[in-house]
Amino acid sequence: MYQAQENRYEQMKYLRCGKSGILMPRVALGLWHNFGSVDSFQNMKEMIFRAFDLGITHFDLANNYGPVYGSAEENFGRIMKSDMRPYRDEMLITTKAGYDMWPGPYGDHGSRKYLMASLDQSLKRMKLDYVDIFYHHRPDPDTPLEETMGALSDIVRQGKALYVGLSNYNAQQTREAAEILKQNGTPLLIHQPRYSMLDRWVEDDGLLDALSEIGAGCICFSPLKQGILTDKYLHGVPEHSRATRNHFLKKDSITPELIGKVSDLNEIAKRRGQSLAQMALSWVLRGDRVTTVLIGASRPEQIEDNVKVVQNLCFTDVELDEIEAILRR
């Protein structure tokens, strides 16, 4: 059985999540990719173990992560049962519901029936009594917000989740949802939006300002823009990369103009003594407006590389100006 390293908390840095009592690691591991039924189970175990040994306490899932739907939770549950059970109280485990999960009218969106049934299924797959955070994965304009937030609040009261989270809500939707949650006695702990150097809608929308006002934390997904903000595509599109699968990252979106920007950003990263991926993560975490950055990985070495970001989270004004000039080109 896996034995965690005794020095696992020495390298990672932690930040308070909003106004809560929760300290979150600055880097968390997401199981969106590479933990499904088509992936190597041994590699999954090695990534979970290495992440935990590096001080990553937060593991992020959703009901339909795979492929196939549910398989990431099932695989994570197998690892919990075989190796990680002794460390459950040292882990923040989260899941979500809000996108398509099962056939028929009750397997999608934001109804009370869907959210409660989905979490029950997730707990069985992960072999858990509760999750630390349960998210509504996206806003549903066809379900009253009071119904969705009421279901989240009741899930906390039932002990099936400790905290409430939202994902993909804009600033106004987040404010409205947070007010209902507050009235229910289950304050919003955290929001999970998409955010990177190349995708800055949270700034334009005012979401980060809204979260600061509410007192909620922020954990960002796709901080490397599906791998674009790494050195992976600097010399063309590699075989078997995400872009060749033509799913969330489209091959034709990797234009010469984009690679030109990425190449120039890479030169700044080199001057900082960082990889491009490390600098991109540092940029998202700069100034502590974002609590945690959510990384994906296909092998343990990527996790090791990304965790080094906590060693250099500061930027000079000159560096920030250079980065802005490149991004605005």
Sequence-separated (6 or more) residues with CB below 8 Å from residue 305: 275, 277, 278
Q: Is residue 260 part of a domain?
A: no
Q: Is residue 64 part of a domain?
A: yes
pLDDT of residue 295: 98
pLDDT above 80: residue 243: no
pLDDT above 80: residue 242: no
Q: Mean pLDDT in the chain? A: 95
pLDDT above 80: residue 248: no
Torsion sign (Cα): 302, 305, 307, 312: negative
Q: What is the pLDDT of residues 95-133, one digit of tens each?
A: 999 999 999 999 999 999 999 999 999 999 999 999 999
Q: What is the pLDDT of residues 263-314, one digit of tens each?
A: 999 999 999 999 999 999 999 999 999 999 999 999 999 999 999 999 999 9
pLDDT of residue 240: 55
Q: Is residue 3 part of a domain?
A: no
Q: What is the CATH number of the domain that holds 183?
A: 3.20.20.100
pLDDT of residue 101: 98
> Which residue do the tokens 């990369």 mark?
241
Residue-number span of the structural domain to which 96 is assigned: 14-233+240-253+276-314
In total, how many domains does the chain have?
Answer: 1
Burial class (CB in 10 A: 0-12, 13-18, 19+), 39: middle
Q: What is the pLDDT of residues 200-211, one digit of tens each?
A: 999 999 999 999
Distance CA 295, CA 220 (A): 9
Higher pLDDT, 236 or 60: 60
pLDDT of residue 174: 98
The secondary structure of 201-247, three-state, reads HHHHHCHHHHHHHHCCEEEEECCCHHHCCCCCCECECCCCCHHHHCC
Distance CA 271, CA 323 (A): 13
pLDDT of residue 235: 74
